């Protein structure tokens, strides 16, 4: 049996009025009791386990400021360390909820070394824009 440390799968959960979101149990094991949230791209929130966040920061902070300042501001200035409560929920900071348009229906996605939190509507709109041709073009560009 193949064992992996990669975050995988799609999980639908609702965010409550206080901004709390249940972390899927299958991802919680790999994320741990505390992990980092930050603005992602395409209007989602990136979720990093502590070890992956530290490696991401190390790589990002070693870039020349002339090349990386805007990217550093986007990810680092908008990051937050969160901890799960006794019910497996996290409190998503207001600025990140607003950035990702999180109101009720959300999707928690495992996408390898990080996870993503999406508004279900935004994710559906994003997925509707993807085509087989665009996926094939990305694959043939050397991504995999």
Q: What is the CATH number of the domain that holds 12?
A: 3.40.1550.20
pLDDT in tens, 20-37: 999 999 999 899 999 999
Number of domains in the chain: 1
pLDDT in tens, 49-91: 999 999 999 999 999 988 889 999 999 999 999 999 999 999 9
Do residues 36 and 78 touch, judged by C-beta distance below 8 A? no
**C-alpha to C-alpha distance for 36 and 12, rounded to whole angstroms:** 20
pLDDT of residue 131: 80
Please identify which residue in the block is written with the tokens 């094939």: 136
Domain membership of residue 134 (yes or no) is no
- Return the half-sphere exposure (C-beta side, CA atoms, 13 A cut-off) of residue 47: 33
Residue from 43, 68, 55, 8 nearest 125 by CA: 43
**C-alpha to C-alpha distance for 4 and 52, rounded to whole angstroms:** 15
Domain membership of residue 132 (yes or no) is no
**C-alpha to C-alpha distance for 67 and 60, rounded to whole angstroms:** 10
Domain membership of residue 43 (yes or no) is yes
**C-alpha to C-alpha distance for 106 and 95, rounded to whole angstroms:** 16
Q: What H or E segment, with its residue span, contains residue 109?
A: strand 105-112
Domain membership of residue 140 (yes or no) is no
Question: What angle, rounded to 10 degrees, do the helices at 50-61 and 65-76 form?
Answer: 150
Domain membership of residue 95 (yes or no) is yes
Domain membership of residue 110 (yes or no) is yes
Domain membership of residue 141 (yes or no) is no
pLDDT of residue 37: 98
pLDDT tier at 1, thresholds 50, 70, 90: very low
**C-alpha to C-alpha distance for 64 and 44, rounded to whole angstroms:** 26
Domain membership of residue 1 (yes or no) is no
- 85 lies in which domain range? 7-119
């Amino acid at each position: 049996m193949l064992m992996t440390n990669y975050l995988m799968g799609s999980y639908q959960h609702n965010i409550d009025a206080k901004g709390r979101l249940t972390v899927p149990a299958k991802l919680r094991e790999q994320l741990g009791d505390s992990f980092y949230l930050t603005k992602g791209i395409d209007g989602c929130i990136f979720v990093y386990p502590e070890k992956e966040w530290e490696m991401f920061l190390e790589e990002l902070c070693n870039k020349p400021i002339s090349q990386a300042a805007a990217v550093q501001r986007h990810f680092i200035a908008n990051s937050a360390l969160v901890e799960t409560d006794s019910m497996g929920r996290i409190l998503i900071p207001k600025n990140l909820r607003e950035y990702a348009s999180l109101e009720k229906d959300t999707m928690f996605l495992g996408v390898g070394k990080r996870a993503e939190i999406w508004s279900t509507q935004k994710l559906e709109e994003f997925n509707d824009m993807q085509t087989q041709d665009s996926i094939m073009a990305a694959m043939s560009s050397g991504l995999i």
